[in-house]
């Protein structure tokens, strides 16, 4: 009997939300997503600390910024050995509000992958969907650099990313629900989950954007994942991938029946600064979660750099745990 994971793979491409590349043999996924936050999680394992220390030892004269990038890209390289699809590698969240620096970071990541002999067609540049991040993605996509826009919480972000030609957008299902729960909202059915409802609506809002895939992200439970079966992509933690193997739930695909009305024409003003800011400001949840998400990414990025650059990585990891 097919479990829910097998059924899901028949309807959506799956990505793993982890830098634990030794786990990939246990999960038949297509793509993967990475960031410093995820690398931090695996550094509790000695084999990953040793891997990082070997990279550091081989690049003692490399400038700090380039060393950090090299370590992150090497994780991506190891992941690419074990999946057939693409890996998303994130620009530093410290540049989330700078178009110029985001573009420079993106090319730096690509150059590092290229120096390691990787096929750039298998690399997505992950960029926070601030106004500046979206403008940077527009410039990058015009030059053939495929982007995965992260921290998506609103329709205006999604439309602006699609208008910019982004290859992938990643709406954060769980974090949307988290915000409403914090405000006192509750729901009994997964179909009523604000995060699920938001992403389901996006499927039809972006129906005419053939070149932009939607990748559901930030899942809190199995029901949220199953409720979005049929989405282009789903990026899932190893724990929830394992959980899907242990259940046998039917996939309700009725939400894909086309009863929603897609946006008929591309909106030409989503990349206008004034319009973008006004519409985003009108969505308190999206504004709160975007700012919070960038701050969390920045904090993890800074902690990652401190640990990586410490004289004793093992001791630094022990102190963190």
Catalytic residue among 13, 77, 126, 203: 126
Helix (H) or strand (E) holding 18: none
Phi, psi of 130 (to 5 degrees): -75, 170
Task: Identify whether the C-beta of residue 11 lies closer than 8 Å to the C-beta of residue 244.
Answer: no
Task: Identify whether the C-beta of residue 87 lies closer than 8 Å to the C-beta of residue 120.
Answer: no
173-182 and 284-309 helices, crossing angle to 10°: 120
Would you call 289 a catalytic residue per the annotation? no
Is beta strand 168-171 parallel, antiparallel or unpaired with respect to 233-236? Answer: unpaired
Q: Which residue has the tokens 């030794």?
A: 22
DSSP annotation string for 110-124:
HHHHHHTT--GGGEE
H-assigned helices in the chain: 4-9, 36-42, 46-57, 64-80, 99-115, 131-142, 155-163, 173-182, 194-205, 222-227, 238-245, 273-281, 284-309, 313-320
- Side-chain-facing half-sphere of 103: CA atoms under 13 Å: 15
Cα-based angle 43, 47, 49 (whole degrees, multiple of 5):
40
Task: Identify whether the C-beta of residue 128 lies closer than 8 Å to the C-beta of residue 297.
Answer: yes
Q: First vs last Cα of the chain: how many Å apart?
A: 40
Taking alpha carbons only, the member of 145, 136, 142 closest to residue 95 is 136
The residues assigned a catalytic role are: 126
């Amino acid at each position: 009997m097919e479990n829910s994971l097998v059924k899901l793979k028949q309807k959506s491409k799956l990505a793993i939300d982890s830098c634990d590349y030794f786990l990939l043999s246990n999960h038949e996924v297509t793509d993967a997503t990475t960031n410093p936050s995820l690398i931090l999680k695996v550094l509790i394992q000695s084999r990953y600390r040793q891997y990082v220390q070997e990279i550091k030892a081989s690049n003692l004269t490399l400038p700090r910024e380039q060393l950090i990038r090299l370590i992150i890209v090497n994780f991506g390289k190891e992941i690419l050995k074990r999946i057939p699809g693409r890996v998303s590698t994130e620009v530093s969240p410290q540049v989330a509000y700078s178009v110029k620096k985001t573009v420079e970071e993106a090319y730096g990541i690509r150059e590092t992958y290229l120096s390691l002999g990787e096929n750039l067609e298998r690399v997505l540049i992950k960029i926070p969907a601030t106004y500046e991040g979206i403008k940077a993605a527009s410039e990058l996509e015009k030059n053939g650099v495929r982007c995965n826009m992260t921290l998506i919480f609103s329709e205006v972000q999604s439309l602006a990313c699609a208008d910019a030609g982004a290859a992938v957008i990643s709406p954060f299902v769980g974090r949307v629900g988290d915000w409403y729960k914090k405000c006192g909202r509750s729901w009994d059915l997964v179909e009523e989950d604000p995060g699920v409802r938001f992403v389901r609506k996006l499927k039809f809002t972006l129906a005419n954007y053939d070149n932009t895939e939607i990748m559901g992200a930030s899942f809190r439970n199995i029901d949220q994942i199953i409720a979005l079966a049929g989405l282009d992509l789903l990026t899932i933690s190893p724990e929830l991938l394992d959980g899907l193997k242990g259940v046998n739930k039917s996939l309700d695909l009725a939400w894909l029946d086309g009863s929603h009305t897609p946006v008929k024409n591309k909106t030409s003003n989503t990349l206008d600064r004034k319009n973008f800011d006004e519409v985003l400001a009108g969505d308190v949840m999206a504004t709160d979660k975007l700012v919070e998400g960038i701050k969390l990414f920045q904090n993890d990025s800074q902690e990652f750099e401190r640990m990586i650059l410490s004289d004793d990585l093992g001791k630094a990891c022990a102190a963190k745990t």
